[in-house]
A and B are shown apart, each in its own frame.
Chain A
């Protein structure tokens, strides 16, 4: 970290490689979809330029992911890349199944429905649920990444889970992935 801050690009490359996977996941799941690569690249360049602002002793990962989250957010707002919204993970039926062609069809379907439900949440709840559960950050990291107080993270999480439960139940989806048969 110290070396990277002193302008040692090799040291920064080590940081980049260590955190690249999480950065890409964050960008993709926060909604950058197919633009995740651009978002992460931009975020990593900005992060390097901002290293001087990084507080000694703070955790690098949430700090970096916050920049990634901001970039993903900016992407949504820019009209230049219209269409990125439609390519968001949860909205593209083919996306969730891509990882492993051998994945059981029901599993892929469950994932697709769950991700679609997350993306149907109001923005504030969607971001918190995505960070805490899809990305498996802890509450403190989630608070840092989204720049909200920790108490806010807690309350949005419980509201987000409640909303998801309602949506999934209304859709007749059971926790084992089976459908409730109507009529």
Chain B
């Protein structure tokens, strides 16, 4: 008796209820809207928005030209607005926002020591991890099935790893719209493309910490190895391992 509600029947009942719910179009809606718009200028196709985009594009060009790693390139709305309200040189140069990742420049001496890439920890199968998180986890075909998979306690961050010791490769993925947030302090970085997506390559050892939405430290800072960051389909990816930039990008582009 308990399981009579199949998905199919449930979906059907929902669709029927939705179709039968009354939602009459109010008479004169279009006329009312047009009357309110009658005195408006044409939509600002080439106005502020386009200007912001052009400005962002110019900044990007300038940044790439100078190999200035630290400039925010996001053409996304939030950053674009920041670009408008702040002098380009100041704000943008200090800060790089990457959907859940903050990269800060550190002009001090580069950290010493040998970075270690922690394996994910093998508490879950891929299918179990998949069921826990709000997005569809992806696996790079170049690396095949991960050796270890885990999901953070708050179910927002999924990590997988391949290999052990100094050969470990690690891939973190999380919904780019939510925390947690990786905080990175780096002395060097390059803009790269991962397929059609903007990415950031951090070629040198750097400190990385994991913060929650209130900027509380979830994982203490550790020294991270070479890392590729990119944002694709609403998910932020962070790939870390003992590889070259070209290898990292090849792995990143093989996500399935």
Is B a genuine binding partner of A? yes
Residues of A within 8 A of B (CB): 4-7, 9, 12-13, 16-17, 20-21, 24-25, 27-29, 36-37, 40-41, 44-45, 48-53, 89, 95-96, 98-100, 103, 107, 110-111, 114-115, 118, 129-130, 133-136, 143, 147-152, 154-156, 161, 164-165, 168-169, 174-175, 180
Question: In the bound complex, do residue A175 and residue B5 qualify as a contact, i.e. CB atoms below 8 Å apart?
Answer: yes
Dominant secondary structure at the B interface: loop
* Contact A9 B29, CB 8 Å, known A25-B21, A50-B43, A151-B134: no
Q: Can you list 30 A-B pairs, Cβ within 8 angstroms, ordered by A?
A: A6-B42, A16-B29, A21-B23, A21-B25, A24-B25, A28-B23, A40-B29, A41-B29, A49-B43, A49-B44, A52-B45, A52-B49, A95-B21, A96-B20, A99-B20, A99-B21, A111-B16, A111-B17, A114-B13, A133-B11, A133-B15, A149-B176, A149-B177, A151-B134, A151-B135, A151-B233, A155-B133, A156-B134, A168-B5, A169-B5
Which of B30-38, B200-208, B210-218 lines the interface with chain A?
B30-38
Question: In the bound complex, do residue B17 and residue A115 qualify as a contact, i.e. CB atoms below 8 Å apart?
Answer: yes
* A45 to B29 alpha-carbon distance, docked (Å): 11
Q: Which B residues touch A149, using CB under 8 A?
A: 135, 175-177, 233-235
B18-59 vs A, Cβ < 8 Å mask (1 yes, 0 no): 111111111001101110111011111111011000000000
* Contact A155 B43, CB 8 Å, known A20-B30, A96-B17, A168-B5: no
Question: In the bound complex, do residue A5 and residue B23 qualify as a contact, i.e. CB atoms below 8 Å apart?
Answer: no
Question: In the bound complex, do residue B37 and residue A9 qualify as a contact, i.e. CB atoms below 8 Å apart?
Answer: yes
Question: In the bound complex, do residue A48 and residue B29 qualify as a contact, i.e. CB atoms below 8 Å apart?
Answer: no
Question: In the bound complex, do residue A89 and residue B21 qualify as a contact, i.e. CB atoms below 8 Å apart?
Answer: yes
Q: Which B residues touch A29, using CB under 8 A?
A: 18, 21, 23
* A45 to B33 alpha-carbon distance, docked (Å): 6
Residue B141 at the chain A interface, CB threshold 8 Å: no
Q: Which B residues touch A9, using CB under 8 A?
A: 34, 37-38
Question: In the bound complex, do residue A111 and residue B15 qualify as a contact, i.e. CB atoms below 8 Å apart?
Answer: no
Question: In the bound complex, do residue A165 and residue B26 qualify as a contact, i.e. CB atoms below 8 Å apart?
Answer: no
Q: Which B residues touch A115, using CB under 8 A?
A: 17, 21
Identify 13 new A-B residue pairs, CB closer than 8 A, beyond the known A40-B26, A51-B43, A151-B134.
A5-B43, A12-B37, A13-B30, A20-B25, A24-B26, A37-B29, A41-B29, A52-B44, A110-B13, A133-B14, A134-B17, A149-B135, A151-B136
Q: Which of B7, B18, B233 has the most CB of A within 10 A?
A: B18
Give the nearest-CB partner of B44 in chain A: A52
Question: In the bound complex, do residue A161 and residue B47 qualify as a contact, i.e. CB atoms below 8 Å apart?
Answer: no
- What's the interface size class on B, roughly? 35 or more
Q: Which B residues touch A175, using CB under 8 A?
A: 4-6, 9-10, 13
A113 to chain B, nearest CB (A): 9
Query: How many residue pairs between the two chains, A and B, have CB atoms under 8 Å in the bound complex?
Result: 166
* Contact A135 B18, CB 8 Å, known A24-B24, A151-B235: yes
Question: In the bound complex, do residue B33 and residue A118 qualify as a contact, i.e. CB atoms below 8 Å apart?
Answer: no
Which one of B11, B23, B234 contacts A148 once the chains associate, using CB atoms below 8 Å? B234
Give the nearest-CB partner of B53 in chain A: A53
Q: Which B residues touch A41, using CB under 8 A?
A: 29, 32-33, 36
* A98 to B19 alpha-carbon distance, docked (Å): 13
Q: Which A residues touch B46, using CB under 8 A?
A: 52
